[in-house]
Amino acid sequence: MLGKTLKALLVGTTVLAGASAANAETFRWAFQGDAQTLDPHGLFETFTLGFQGNVYEGLVKYNDEMKLVGALAESWENVEPTVWRFKLRPGVKFHNGNDFTAEDVVFSVNRLNTEGSDMKVVASLIKEAKAVDDLTVDIITPTPNPILPNQFEIFYIMDKQWAEENKATEATNVKGGDEGNHANLNANGTGPFIVKSRQSGVKTELTRNPDYWDKNMKSNITEAIFTPIAQDATRVAALISGNVDLAYPMPVQDWKRLESADGVKPLAGPEARTIFLGFDQLRDELTASNVKGKNPFKDVRVRKAFFQAINVDAIRDKVMRGASIPAGLMVAPQINGYSEAMNGRLPYDVEAAKKLMEEAGYADGFEVTMDCPNDRYVNDEQICQASAAMLARINVKVNLLAQTKSKYFGKVLAQNGYDTSFFLLGWTPSTFDSHNVISSLIACRGGEDKIGSFNLGGYCNPKINELTAKIQSETDQAKRQAMIDEVFKLHQDEVGHIPLHQQPLSWGVSDKVDVVQRPDNQFDLRYAVVKK
Amino acid sequence: MLTFIAKRLVQSILVMLTVALIAFSLFRYVGDPINNMVGQDTSLEERVELKERLGLNDSFFVQFGRFVVNAAQGNFGFSYQHRRPVSDLIAERLPATLELSIVSAFLAMAIGIPMGVYTAIRRNSWLSHSFMTLSLVGISLPTFLIGILLILLFGVVLRWLPTFGRGEVVQLGWWSTGLLTASGLKSLIMPSITLALFQMTLIMRLVRSEMLEVMRTDFVKFARARGLAERYVNFVVALKNTMVPVITITGLQLGSIIAFAIITESVFQWPGMGLLFIQAVGNVDIPIMAAYLVLIAFFFVVINLIVDMLYVVVDPRLRVDSAGGH
């Protein structure tokens, strides 16, 4: 009898042990860099915010199909043109057990405007946040804003009480002086994962939040370990050897290797990032060219000739291993405001390009320096090399200046007076809306409206600035789209930039896991599943 | 002896100041840190203001002076990327680099010296020839390539060893060690071999040529003539006399091992100071770069000092000299 009980007990224990082992699902992943901070208002950067999104949550979020769905808010509506009302999800708790309430939302809005915050651009969308009751918040905007919920996707909510207890009521300041800022190294969100340990630049361990509000979450992961791996070769080896389950980005030239290796595969998809060329159309004389006393890029025929001289299909096939998508617009199909009908390109035609150059008085071409990053976009330097070779056919001699991103951006951006004559740049609108592209890249820079700050070539059509302001506040979607189309049409006719392609996302995944690849290159643990 | 040490320490401060000065004069060429510190939607005004707050608009001498004054008080500033004090980051990363370097230096000596002695004594055996050929590979292949090849063979094909990182570490006070766990030791094998290979071949070739030299001297012949055992002649009489140059080179190489661990660390994503430094260069994290370079200069000075003191232990003639005074 005793023996039997003992045996039953033993069997019971074994079953239990077996069960818990089966439930423990560890997921390891690697990216080329680390999240720079755990402070959700410390840096407006894709990877950092994407990583934090596993721990913190905003009022809304994108689901696995990039549809905007409720996260901490259950519903929202534009009750007045300048008032968005968010109904908050009841019963949500932060990782430390505190209740999530409207007060936390108001606190987080105010935190966006503190000195160290890099999210002031989000703060500028908000005039005031008011807690109507515990679970209702009114966001008052300075002007009517139809896309505020989209712009809130990366605005994460922090617990007011936790921040006060840990003296983290202000965002982590890059300048320093607040070494103790608790929020930089610690996190207390409402998200599905809790930060268990973190050594910046080395390793971060997350464990599943057992009290997460969304009981239907797809992920079965109980423990997730993130390691930044900077070297491409090391990252590829880590994936193939099974030391990590997901690694990105993978060099596109390694896809074949990933396909032939056992147990892993490349995961490619179009990224919402458009790569384009631009030219200085503002200065009366180019800073880096042999043409003196005038600026050839002021002539639309020259810009058009450059456009028609570049063979994007060849760049796709030879440089991008067939994985880029040639683009005619400055926005990708995933971006709100994209129009398929307008995505056509001027045909590749060297003869036509030569003729245009001749008409413009540059039959013998000219010399110009091209600025290009060599570690920022997928095969960026090779794209520039290929473009330079193609432009040689219309007698333009391109002196390529390809540099590391810190040097490249240090040269061409506003702080250095836009010191470039011809350049390659890439852009993903952080709001996933065309307005961001128009106001950052296409609108005239240096005006009262303080927009166009990434319009490195100084392309300018004042009509576009007028339209930009209207697009910002137009709530009728059809009217808004018509205005966006009008801007893109003007920009295309004047060849303000040369859009090249959407670059591919390039991830490598183990066959043991299922993940969802988002076109903004974010990875969300909510949709990652370890297969049994 | 004490005056000697004191003098060297004063000199070391001078060396570090010079290194800091050269480093600072180079920083203006590494690019603009601001774009790495803010998101793409951050306005121009905020970027300009951030640059001002970080003091990057000040003149070279003001920036350098500020660094020296702060560093003298033990304050190396605040990392732009990690948003933490640089001294904390270095203290966190130092154990990984030192463990890797010391294990590598030990491997280099423990294997390099016997190989050197062997190739000197049995000059024409096939084993000597294969050692010599192998050493050519070690000298001529770049560290980066050796690391990648090891990863490919033992990590990807055979899957015996982890391809990156340091494995599980145990915290002993502020020191984190990977020497006490199985995964930590396994992780150490490939990086330490990669880092040791060049030094090992160097030591082997050095010991060999020194031995060949010493074997021809009269006192070795005399030792043989006295009928001392061959082993004693080779390993005590001869080897001891080859040690002065070997100690110099090994000592100086220890400095280089620590400094050049950068490459090995980045190939194996080994979380040491070298990796911290190389990432800082990519992100123009000036406070980390400055602190690292000064620290490495300090290591070199200290190691040289220790090497000078070891001479006295190994070579009695130096002892007589210093006792006699000049």
Query: What confidence score (pLDDT) does residue A34 get?
Result: 92
CB pairs under 8 A between A and B: 164
Higher pLDDT, B10 or A304: A304
Check B156 against A120: CB less than 8 A apart.
no
- Least CA distance to A44: which residue of chain B? B39
Residues of B in contact with A172 (CB under 8 A): 83
Higher pLDDT, A159 or B250: A159
The phi, psi pair for A313, rounded to 5°, reads: -65, -40
Residues of B in contact with A454 (CB under 8 A): 40
Confidence of residue A179 (pLDDT cuts 50, 70, 90): low
Query: What confidence score (pLDDT) does residue A176 get?
Result: 59
- Least CA distance to A234: which residue of chain B? B267
Radius of gyration of chain A (CA): 26
Mean pLDDT of B27-37: 84
Check A174 against B83: CB less than 8 A apart.
yes
Check B165 against A43: CB less than 8 A apart.
no
DSSP letters, A271-315, are EEEEEEEEE--SSSS-SSBS--SS-GGGSHHHHHHHHHH--HHHI
Check A243 against B164: CB less than 8 A apart.
yes
pLDDT single digits (tens) A445-492: 988 888 898 999 999 999 999 999 999 889 888 999 999 999 999 999
- Residue A501 predicted with pLDDT over 80: yes
Residues of B in contact with A36 (CB under 8 A): 81-83
As given in the structure block, the two tokens for residue A174 are: 């890059």
Report for A491-505, B6-20, B130-144, B300-314: range of highest mean pLDDT: A491-505
- Residue B322 predicted with pLDDT over 50: no
Interface check for B203 against chain A (CB to CB < 8 A): the answer is no
Check B163 against A201: CB less than 8 A apart.
no
Higher pLDDT, A337 or B55: A337
pLDDT single digits (tens) A110-150: 999 988 888 888 998 999 999 999 999 999 999 999 889 98
- Residue A214 predicted with pLDDT over 50: yes
Query: What confidence score (pLDDT) does residue B319 get?
Result: 60
Confidence of residue A19 (pLDDT cuts 50, 70, 90): very low
User: Which member of A179, A242, A408 has the closest CB to residue B85?
Assistant: A179
- Residue B61 predicted with pLDDT over 60: yes
Query: What confidence score (pLDDT) does residue A18 get?
Result: 37
pLDDT single digits (tens) A40-56: 998 888 899 999 999 99
Confidence of residue A77 (pLDDT cuts 50, 70, 90): very high
Query: What confidence score (pLDDT) does residue B119 get?
Result: 92
What letter would DSSP give residue A20?
H
Check A430 against B41: CB less than 8 A apart.
yes
B75, B152, B164: best to mutate for the A interface, most A CBs within 10 A:
B164
Rounded Cα distance, A418 and A68, in Å = 36
DSSP letters, B59-114, are -HHHHHHHHHHHHHTT---B-TTT-SBHHHHHHHHHHHHHHHHHHHHHHHHHHHHH
**Is the separation of the CB atoms in A453 and A470 below 8 Å?**
no
User: How far is the alpha carbon of B90 from chain A, nearest alpha carbon, in Å?
Assistant: 12
Higher pLDDT, A83 or B318: A83
What letter would DSSP give residue B19?
H
User: Which member of A200, A227, A415 has the closest CB to residue B82?
Assistant: A200
User: Which member of A33, A118, A416 has the closest CB to residue B39?
Assistant: A118
Residues whose CB falls within 8 Å of the CB of residue B234, separated by 6 or more in sequence, listed in order: B117, B121
Mean pLDDT of A86-103: 96
Interface check for B167 against chain A (CB to CB < 8 A): the answer is no
Residues of B in contact with A37 (CB under 8 A): 83
Query: What confidence score (pLDDT) does residue B148 get?
Result: 93
What letter would DSSP give residue A254?
G
Higher pLDDT, A501 or B41: A501
User: How far is the alpha carbon of B142 from chain A, nearest alpha carbon, in Å?
Assistant: 15
User: Which member of B36, B43, B165 has the closest CB to residue A450?
Assistant: B43
| Beta strands A83-88 and A136-140, pairing class | antiparallel
* Residue B14 to residues B10, B17, B69, B185, Cα–Cα distance (Å): 7, 5, 14, 39
SS3 state of residue B163 = coil
For residue B318, the surrounding DSSP H or E stretch is helix B316-324
A154, A406, A431, A453: best to mutate for the B interface, most B CBs within 10 A:
A406
- Residue B163 predicted with pLDDT over 80: yes
pLDDT single digits (tens) A307-352: 999 999 999 999 998 999 999 999 999 999 999 999 999 999 999 9
Query: What confidence score (pLDDT) does residue A412 get?
Result: 93
- Least CA distance to A226: which residue of chain B? B165
- In single-letter form, the type of residue at position A433 comes to D
pLDDT single digits (tens) B109-122: 999 999 998 999 88
Q: Chain B window 257-286: which residues touch A at a Cβ cutoff of 8 Å?
A: 266-269, 271, 275-276, 278-279, 282-284
User: What average pLDDT is seen over chain A?
Assistant: 91
pLDDT single digits (tens) B215-270: 888 888 888 888 888 888 888 888 888 887 888 888 888 888 888 899 999 999 99
B32, B41, B45, B283: best to mutate for the A interface, most A CBs within 10 A:
B41
Confidence of residue A180 (pLDDT cuts 50, 70, 90): low
Check B46 against A120: CB less than 8 A apart.
yes
Confidence of residue B325 (pLDDT cuts 50, 70, 90): very low
Interface check for B56 against chain A (CB to CB < 8 A): the answer is no
Interface predicted TM-score (ipTM) of this complex, two decimals = 0.86
**Is the separation of the CB atoms in A224 and A242 below 8 Å?**
no
Query: What confidence score (pLDDT) does residue B300 get?
Result: 86
Interface check for B38 against chain A (CB to CB < 8 A): the answer is yes
